């Protein structure tokens, strides 16, 4: 694992543990969309795809839950398959899901391919890895693995515009999400949600 402050790792662990526990107690349908923890093979495959190490904070998150896409399914189509997203995957505000390590690899490869095709390396850089994304469109948040010092900032991205700075770290973002869920105190880093409730067993953002 690559270096990041122990405080950020612990903050993320506490924040995501709080979010997952809230869903387990209040939104079981959403909790059921959380994948089991990533294993050594998952992390090794991700590290290999990225061509090096990965930030500790990302590995810790994935080893807690490897995404929120457990209910998604693959549907065969001529020449391959398509992924059918389940609504319960969207555990974050504005219909966004926590990508699994396999999806991070695949989506990053797609974005790098687009950048090469259009001849614009600023569209997607090799150090960027998508971690949170909308179910039906290329909108979400990425982790910049080429941060300064021990900081790995979170950037927001959307179709038709370049990624832009959003939060100092995953720990900041997930702590803000936990605060919004548990206390209704959203902040600039709470992924555009100010409070959450449960409707029919599913987390719903206000």
Q: Alpha-carbon distance 174 to 162, whole Å?
A: 23
CB atoms within 10 A of CB 43: 18
Structure tokens at 199: 């409707």
4-to-39, 40, 136, 169, 204 alpha-carbon distances in Å: 21, 20, 32, 10, 32
**Which stretches of the chain drop beneath a pLDDT of 50?**
1-4
Helices marked H in the chain? 6-26, 28-31, 40-50, 56-64, 101-118, 170-183
State the pTM of this model: 0.92
């Amino acid at each position: 694992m690559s270096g990041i402050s122990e405080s950020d790792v612990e903050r993320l662990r506490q924040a995501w543990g709080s979010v997952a526990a809230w869903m387990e107690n209040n939104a079981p349908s959403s909790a059921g969309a959380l994948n089991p923890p990533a294993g050594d093979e998952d992390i090794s495959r991700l590290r290999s795809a990225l061509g090096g190490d990965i930030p500790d904070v990302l590995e810790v998150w994935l080893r807690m839950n490897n995404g929120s896409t457990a209910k998604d399914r693959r549907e065969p189509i001529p020449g391959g398959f398509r992924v059918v997203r389940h609504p319960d995957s969207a555990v974050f505000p504005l219909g966004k899901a926590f990508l699994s390590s396999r999806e991070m690899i695949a989506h990053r490869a797609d974005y790098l391919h687009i950048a090469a095709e259009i001849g614009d390396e600023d569209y997607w850089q090799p150090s960027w890895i998508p971690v949170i994304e909308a179910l039906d469109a290329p909108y979400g948040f990425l982790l910049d693995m080429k941060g300064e010092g021990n900081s790995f900032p979170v950037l927001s991205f959307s179709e038709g515009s370049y990624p832009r700075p959003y939060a100092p770290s995953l720990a900041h973002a997930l702590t803000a999400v936990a605060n919004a869920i548990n206390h209704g105190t959203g902040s600039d880093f709470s992924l555009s949600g100010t409070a959450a409730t449960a409707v029919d067993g599913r987390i719903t953002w206000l």
